[in-house]
Structure 1
Amino acid sequence: MEAGTQEMPAFMTNRDEDVTSDSWRQHRKHVFVLSEAGKPIYSRYGSEEALSSTMGVMMALVSFVQSGDNIIRSVYSELHTVVFLQKGPLVLVCVSNSRQSEEQLRGELLYVYYQIISMLTQASISRIFEHKKNYDLRRLLAGSEKILDGLLNLVDSDPSFLLTAIHCLPLASSLRDSLSQILQKAITPNLVFSILVAKNQLLTIVQEKTVIEDARLEPADVHLLLNLIGASSAFQAGEIWTPICLPLFNPDCYFYAYISYLDPPECTVCLLLLSTDKEAFYAVADCKRKIEEAMVAQNALSLIAKAHSYSVSQVGVSDLRHFMYKPFDVPDTYRQLTQFTSPEMEAPYSSEEEKMRLLDLYRYMHSRIHSSTRPLKLIYHVAERETLLAWVTSKFELYTCFSPLVTKACAITAITKLLRWIKKEEERLFIRYPPKYSTTPNPSKSSRGGKSDQQDSTENGFLTLL
């Protein structure tokens, strides 16, 4: 549970909270989504019906400022920051008492918007509200609340979203290469992405050659896919075939995603195959069978099961407690996914409260480094219980946490050792050169996505699974 909140009984959900209670007001971060007509669409805590008047006030604020040819971006009070984001006919609002910057909160609202687009497409939403301005979008999003709740829980606890980067599971490069080769050989026309995930981290991703010449798969799209997989145990039941939009790749079209776990009943290794062809289920399912057979032959699943994140003690740098490293020096010709590496959070950051406190310190450093008015390259920050150093160069972005009383000179010496260790381990920590394959796409299909925006948005099959 977040700091400042009271734990709810197991049978209750976020939607059951009493919006007049003190515990509701004390939540660290509220998120609201409404339409331009003021119709409630989503609330992180409490039911939309109970909050309809509150959302009406929010829309009145937006409209009042708009009437003066301005856009409302944020409101600050002593304890809270209120951030507004308007995307087409949708208005998203965050009310936060965290120390996060306005830019960070707006980035989180953008993720919520992307998750909604992933289910309905941008074109469908625009068309719906052009036809009927006071349409109740909850009719199409029914059942999706747990996807949005799960996303916001991840945003709070997973630094991938702060860094806009993908966390790969550390893996021997020989094993990662053999997994990539298995995916490369199991292809069918119009198969665009083959993605292997384990323990909520990326193992490998193989992309159709002509597609990545045309467009890049962004980390945010992968984050949305990972959140979708983790949102419901229904995906563990067998083979799922569902439309999904990747909003940064193409916000107006659907891909068709085949989702299947390869290691039931543990369900830690998941295969995602994305096709542009709605009718390709059997062909794509056949690819899965080939992948499964090859992985069994190579004993790959038991090798993946032994893979795990690393401890900061393995780095061998005294006083270093934790770090996050995001490299920039990858040749663009490889259309590389932006990645980062980070060890497990260990003592003194074992409890949820302490993990959140460290993440908040990282968020503070990140906001200073990326300040729109006064960006910085290097920050040495002495906090109450630790010392932090953040450093951004043309080759990397690095956030480090040391025990207290470490001097700036000692921290920089330690970072030199850390960078040397990362360089030595980079083949294990990152996907350096993403593999590609060629299929023979059906000429009638676009490499930028599957069925066009004319698709009826009620076809969101996965919503019924949740």
Structure 2
Amino acid sequence: MDVEVPGGSEAVGGGTDTGSESSFKVSQVEIEDVEENLKNAEAIFEHLEQLPFQVFILSEFGKPIFVNNDRNEGEVVSLAALICAFVSRCQSWGDSLMTMTSQDNHIQFLHKSPLIFCVVSKYPEQLDQQLEVLFEQICSILSKSQLESVYKKKGDNYDLRKLLRGTDRLIDSSISSWRASPINLVDSSISAIPMNPSDREFLSTTMATSLGAAKLDGALFGIMIAKRQIAAIVRFKKYIIHPRDLNILINLVSDTTLQTDSQNWVPICLPRFNDTGFFYAYISYPWCNKEQDVPACLVLLSVKRDHFDGLKEVRQQIVSKLENNSKFFVNFSQAVKAPNLYQISQIGSNSESLWSFLYLNHSSRQVCMSASKIPLITRPERWTARCEMRRSSSLSTQHPHLRTLFVRGTKHCLFVWVTDLFSLYCIFGPFVTATIAFQIVEKLLKSLKSHEQRYFIINTTSF
């Protein structure tokens, strides 16, 4: 079956990917509802207590570096030694310890010399990817080459927390954003701020022309970020920025300690671009003041440490041009202050039984999700939706040969459609049939395609 795929064919930072889907078949699965129990986690080896989610980062020599829940130092040291012992024992057998399971708890390990990462979770989905993200988060602060050299210079017992002092909040933020947002169910993805196509084009063109006119050798990217979403991104010629690196930047600029200053100059390693060197990020919040209160952040990236003054001038030119276009600036301010997410009613008639969806374009790595609607409005209800999206993702992982799943429950139905080009996770009401669900999904994809320039960044402007 041929389907027009919304979301563009180019990755946001450049590059392309292709795929095809030649057949369509809906597989129905009858399962019982599973009640989410977030409070009663089982004990893990009598050392990890009853916590639904616990992250440990330590050196491969057993020195604790980070733990995401408050514990006394003695307990942290003991747990770090235990984790290190597990990993070392398997290593002595010529093997690598990756996962362990204890009742309804899942333990994932990642050994990236000279660090060891461990996560304990009630939910097994993509724990390996979460640990990879944390490793890259640390590399963004120190770079991989610095990380490797520090223990050679300082010795095995060196406490890496001395170099990471003050950055725990970035690691915590990375963990929290992954757990709280359904978008992060899909690896290496970003979300675009919904905007009028003409406004996004004007924003991108303004950023690109201002950077190009400055002729700063080494200035490679310009990004406008708001509410952990991308409004626009421009790049120098054919350089590519990976969505994982974009998420590191998003995590950085969401740090409230930076927002107290109108401009910041921050060295940052983007591991997917180059894990041995640093960018220098000029970060500004032009309109985060009492008068305007537009929560947008402009990031200008250069490989040259002496570009602060040059990028400051570029920033001033961009801000001036944007503010001088009053029609654009009003639209932009509204889009950033209250993002207008995709409304399911846009699909048309007979779409009432669709309660929520999450769509991922595999080529552009961009996600679109629906706005909240009854009966998924309150925080507990939205958490339910998040759990069901997790459940859908888990089902598609457990049954990779099934490209489509229709899961009927007593409270709602799940519809999963995974192809080479996209993944779609939907929550329907309990009375919908597989046939009706598919008809609505077809209309949804057509609607997203017709509005893709509003909900996706289709082309990345270069300078």
What is the match of residue 327 of structure 1? 361
CA positional deviation for 1:423: 1.1
Matches within 5 A, 1:375-390: 375-390=401-416
RMSD after superposition: 2.2
Q: Distance in 1 between matches of 2:280 and 2:109?
A: 32
Answer whether contact 2:222 2:233 (CA < 8 A) is retained: yes
- 1:242 aligned to 2:266? yes
More relative contact order in 1 or in 2 (CA 8 Å, sep 6+)? 2
How big is each residue's C-alpha offset from its partner over 1:422-464, in whole Å with a ceiling of 9 and x where there is no partner?
1111111111111111xxxxxxxxxxxxxxxxxxxxxxxxxxx
AA aligned to 2:318 is I
Whether 1:177 aligns to 2:201 is yes
Partner of 2:101: 76
Q: 1:107-150: CA deviations, max 9, x gaps?
A: 11111111111111000001112332221110011111111111
Tell me the equivalent position of 1:12.
none
Q: 1:398 aligns with which of 417, 424, 437?
A: 424
Structure 1 distance, partners of 2:245, 2:366, is 13
- Aligned partner letter, 1:193: F
Change over 3 Å in CA distance of 1:195–1:226 after alignment to 2: same
Tell me how far 1:3 sits from its aligned partner.
7.1
SS at match of 1:25: coil
Unaligned segments of structure 2, at least 5 residues: 1-35
Aligned AA for 1:376?
A: L
Distance 1:247 1:378 in 2: 34
Partner of 2:246: 222
The residue number in structure 1 matching 2:280 is: 256
The amino acid across from 2:460 in the alignment is P
Partner of 1:280: 307
Give, as a single letter, the amino acid of the residue that structure 1 aligns with 2:93.
G
Q: Which residue of 1 aligns with 2:59?
A: 35
Residue 344 of structure 2 is aligned with which of 288, 309, 312?
312
Q: 5+ unaligned residues in a row in structure 1: which ranges?
A: 7-18, 331-336, 438-466
Mapping for residues 117-128 of structure 1, pairs under 5 Å? 117-128=139-150
Question: Shift of residue 28 of structure 1?
Answer: 1.6
Cα offset for 1:344? Answer: 2.1
SS of residue matched to 1:350:
coil
Distance 1:267 1:134 in 2: 46
**1:149 paired to 2:172:** yes
Kept after mapping to 1: 8 A contact 2:294/2:333: no
CA distance in 2, matches of 1:137, 1:377: 45
2:375 to 328, 340, 348: 348
User: Structure 2: how far apart are the matches of 1:179 and 1:242?
Assistant: 24
> Within 1, Cα distance between the matches of 2:138 and 2:347?
40
CA distance in 2, matches of 1:154, 1:345: 18
Shift of 1:176: 0.3
Q: Secondary structure at the match of 1:314?
A: helix
**2:235 is aligned with what amino acid?**
Q
- Alpha-carbon distance in structure 2 between the residues aligned to 1:267 and 1:61: 49
1:351 Cα offset (Å): 3.0
Letter of the 2:431 counterpart: L
Q: Which amino acid aligns with 2:367?
A: F
1:55 equivalenced with 2:80 (yes/no): yes
Distance 1:58 1:394, change over 3 A: closer
1:375 deviates by 4.1
Instruction: Quote the offset at 1:35 in angstroms.
Output: 0.3
* Pair 140,3 (structure 1): closer, same or farther in 2 beyond 3 Å: farther
- Of the three residues 45, 48, 69, the one matched with 2:69 is 45
Question: What secondary structure sits across from 2:267 in the alignment?
Answer: strand
SS of the residue corresponding to residue 412 of structure 1 reads helix
Is the Cα contact below 8 Å between 1:323 and 1:399 reproduced in 2? yes
Shift of 1:157: 1.3
Once the two structures are TM-superposed, the CA of residue 47 in structure 1 deviates from its matched residue by 4.0
Query: How far, CA to CA, are the matches of 1:406 and 1:252 in structure 2?
Result: 53
| Counterpart-to-counterpart distance in 2, 1:38 and 1:198 | 39
TM-score, normalisation: structure 2: 0.84
Report deviation, 1:232.
2.3
Residue 89, structure 1, aligned to residue 114, structure 2: yes
Q: Distance in 1 between matches of 2:149 and 2:53?
A: 31
My pick for the range that moved more, 276-285 or 342-351, is: 342-351
Cα deviation code 1:287-340 (max 9, x no counterpart): 000001000111233211222232323333221111111224x5xxxxxx4211
TM-superposed CA distance for 1:383, in Å, is 3.1
Larger mean Cα displacement after TM superposition, 379-388 or 107-116: 379-388
Match of 2:330 among 302, 305, 309: 302
**SS of the residue 1:277 aligns to:** coil
Give the aligned partner of residue 6 of structure 2: none
* Deviation per residue, 1:65-96 (Å, 9 max, x gap): 11111111111111211110111210000011
Residues 157/73 of structure 1: CA separation in 2 closer, same or farther (3 Å cut):
same
Query: Quick one: structure 1 residues 238 and 44, their matched pair in 2 at CA, closer, same or farther if it must change by over 3 Å?
Result: same
Partner of 1:208: 236
Change (3 A) 1:90 1:237: same
Q: Which amino acid aligns with 1:290?
A: Q
8 A Cα contact 2:262 2:286, kept in partner:
no
Aligned-pair CA distance for 1:260: 0.5
**How far apart in 1 are the matches of 2:38 and 2:423?**
32
Distance 1:238 1:397 in 2: 39
Q: TM-score, normalised by structure 1?
A: 0.83
